[in-house]
Structure 1
Amino acid sequence: MKRFFRFFRYIFSCLLFLASIGVYSTNRLMYMKTKKDQFIYNRERDAGRFDPASFEALRKQEVAIPSPYGYHLKTIIVEPFEKKHYIIISHGVTENKINSIKYMNLFLKRGYNVLIYDHRRHGESGGKTTSFGHYEKFDLKAVVDWVHENRGKDILLGIHGESMGAATMILYAGMLDDGADFYIADCPFSDFKEEIQHLISSEVKLPAKLLLPIADLFIRLREHYSLRDVSPITVIDKITKPMLFIHSEKDDFILPSMTQKLFEKKKGPKKLFFASNGLHAQSYNENKEAYEQAIDDFLQEYVHVKET
């Protein structure tokens, strides 16, 4: 009997240990610490990428778009132009819509009306957890649907995504390829499980093969999706609309090889630009002229062909 109780205590201790790992690891994902809104505001302003006075002077409208999950997405739509060219900017994890203003300015210079928004659990949007693209892709669909319903089905619509925002965009486009006319993916991950494994091995120095199955099990139990569902590489070949891929050669957070894999598997019109300077999500900040030239070349070759 004593042997049985020792065995029972051993099994219980093991299960408790695994459960603690599962809760801890999924908490790190679900509740990843986001940057303070004021920090992002100050950072972008001080770097010269955001001028509050110029932004306030723009013709714009704030819209709270309902998410299918019961909260609202805070969006700002800037519309200085009569022509029906629109682009949606999808920011990265821990950021907010203020980080998207530099891309907004880029497209305003090219005659596009722009919608920027906060992902769930970021900035001023609702939502309790981050899912790195799984639930975010349905929020993006809600934003795209709002633009089509309120600005017309005949608009020219693009989506620009950075990091998690780029992965979200690809997952959305793979689900519904006719949502937008073109896509720009800046430093996306190709597979979330592979990305987590890379981060664990390079930063945490823990056995990823042990942690990933436990994290996946607890994500299934707590959030009702699997890590394998967050895999842009599995849907990229469903996207036929033109796509520009961008990545910094020196990115050691999301490796450039992930974008290379996505580019190679993507069918139809596509272009690839590797920036020579900058780490993760810094391609535009550190290579402004080359970045804008890559955008112009892509738009001229694949998007504005019928207009010339």
Structure 2
Amino acid sequence: MIWTWTILLFLTIIFGFFAFVGYKMVTPPRRVGKWTPKDLGFDYEKVEFKSRDGITLRGWWIDQGKDETVIVLHGYTASKWNEVYMKPAIEIVANLGYNVLTFDFRAHGESEGSKTTIGDKEILDLSGAIDWLLSNTNTKKIALIGFSMGAMVTIRALAEDERVCCGIADSPPIYIDKTGARGLKYFANLPEFLYPIIKPFTKMFSGAKEVNIIDYADKVRKPLLIIAGGNDPLVKVEEVEEFYKRNKTINPRIEVWITDAAHVRTIVKYKEEWKRKVGEFLRANL
């Protein structure tokens, strides 16, 4: 009998640990910083709007008096305050003269919501942002720049939202399970082979549906620039190239730029080239 109870206790502890990890994976820490677009030399307005499913989202609006707006989208566990890629991206786009909108996805930064769905319901967040833009500003053309999870949302929007004219996807996860397993090691320092055990808990806590961006390779027909890094521990270049080759058969306006950078780090390692390529892309398509 004592062995039975010992085994039950052991299993309870093990599955409790897996449940805890799954819960933590969908409840990222809220990154809140102190800098604002004012520190970059741009006047801005704090804005608040609703996601399509009613969650309050909070962001920044830089109005440059244009009818062209670029929405900059952060990645998983980050926020609009991210200094690695969001800050330089906002600065570059604003210096190009475009209006800029950025905001915190649900369960990130200062937006409401308790769980991230890593690309599923975040599309509703973006839809709410676009609703706000078209109702409250002079915006007529909208481009997206997304990083990691934000890149997933960018690609989805190009296929699903007619209001978006073009997009740049930097380090987009193509297969959610492959990136999820790598992310377990990257974010939690746990072995990748545990992912199939932890995954059901993440789905249970978040209520999310799986989003595999490879499925959109047959749907996107708008200008798209994908940026990928050869030293990315989360997204393999081969996966990005697979998406590119499939989408190229129906979308002549897709481009891919491969560097030797790490995840969402091309803008850090090759800032001037990132600025040039992104500028050229936006001028040509926005």
Give the structure-1-normalised TM-score.
0.79
Query: Which amino acid letter does the alignment assign opposite residue 54 of structure 1?
Result: G
Instruction: Report the equivalent of 1:258.
Output: 239
Instruction: Report the equivalent of 1:242.
Output: 223
Pairing 1:282–2:265 present: yes
Matching residue within 165, 168, 173 for 1:184: 168
Matching residue within 116, 123, 143 for 1:158: 143
Instruction: Report the equivalent of 2:23.
Output: 27
Matching residue within 128, 132, 135 for 1:146: 132
CA gap of 1:142–1:51, structure 2 versus 1, over 3 A, is: closer
Pairing 1:295–2:281 present: no
CA gap of 1:12–1:69, structure 2 versus 1, over 3 A, is: farther
Instruction: Report the equivalent of 1:224.
Output: 207
The structure having more radius of gyration, on CA atoms, is 1
Maintained 8 Å contact 1:201/1:207: yes
Maintained 8 Å contact 2:235/2:263: yes
Structure 1: segments with no counterpart, 5+ residues:
none
Superimposed CA distance per residue, residues 163-208 of structure 1 (whole angstroms, 9 cap, x where no aligned partner): 111112223434x141300010011111221112234467846362
Between Structure 1 and Structure 2, which shows a larger proportion of helix residues? 1
CA gap of 1:178–1:53, structure 2 versus 1, over 3 A, is: closer
CA gap of 1:21–1:233, structure 2 versus 1, over 3 A, is: farther
CA distance in 1, matches of 2:267, 2:95: 15
CA distance in 2, matches of 1:12, 1:51: 57
Superimposed CA distance per residue, residues 201-254 of structure 1 (whole angstroms, 9 cap, x where no aligned partner): 67846362xx3333332233322234xx12111223211111001122322233
Query: Which amino acid letter does the alignment assign opposite residue 111 of structure 2?
Result: S
Query: Which amino acid letter does the alignment assign opposite residue 25 of structure 1?
Result: V
Pairing 1:169–2:158 present: no
CA distance in 1, matches of 2:95, 2:122: 28
Pairing 1:52–2:36 present: no
Superimposed CA distance per residue, residues 245-264 of structure 1 (whole angstroms, 9 cap, x where no aligned partner): 11223222333333223222
CA distance in 2, matches of 1:286, 1:124: 29
CA distance in 1, matches of 2:185, 2:64: 47
Instruction: Report the equivalent of 1:16.
Output: 12
CA distance in 1, matches of 2:283, 2:101: 22
Matching residue within 89, 95, 108 for 1:103: 89
Correspondence list, 1:74-113, <5 A: 74-81=58-65, 83-99=66-82, 100-113=86-99
SS in 2 for 1:97: coil
Instruction: Report the equivalent of 1:206.
Output: 191
Superimposed CA distance per residue, residues 77-112 of structure 1 (whole angstroms, 9 cap, x where no aligned partner): 11122x311110001122221333322222223231
SS in 1 for 2:268: helix
CA distance in 1, matches of 2:192, 2:13: 15
CA distance in 1, matches of 2:59, 2:17: 36
Compute the displacement of 1:149 (Å): 2.8
Compute the displacement of 1:143 (Å): 0.7
CA gap of 1:196–1:103, structure 2 versus 1, over 3 A, is: same
Correspondence list, 1:117-128, <5 A: 117-128=103-114
Structure 2: segments with no counterpart, 5+ residues:
none
CA gap of 1:219–1:250, structure 2 versus 1, over 3 A, is: closer
Bigger shift: 212-221 or 238-247?
212-221
CA distance in 1, matches of 2:105, 2:128: 12
Query: Which amino acid letter does the alignment assign opposite residue 140 of structure 1?
Result: L
CA gap of 1:259–1:215, structure 2 versus 1, over 3 A, is: same
Compute the displacement of 1:157 (Å): 0.8
Aligned length: 279
CA distance in 1, matches of 2:137, 2:32: 32
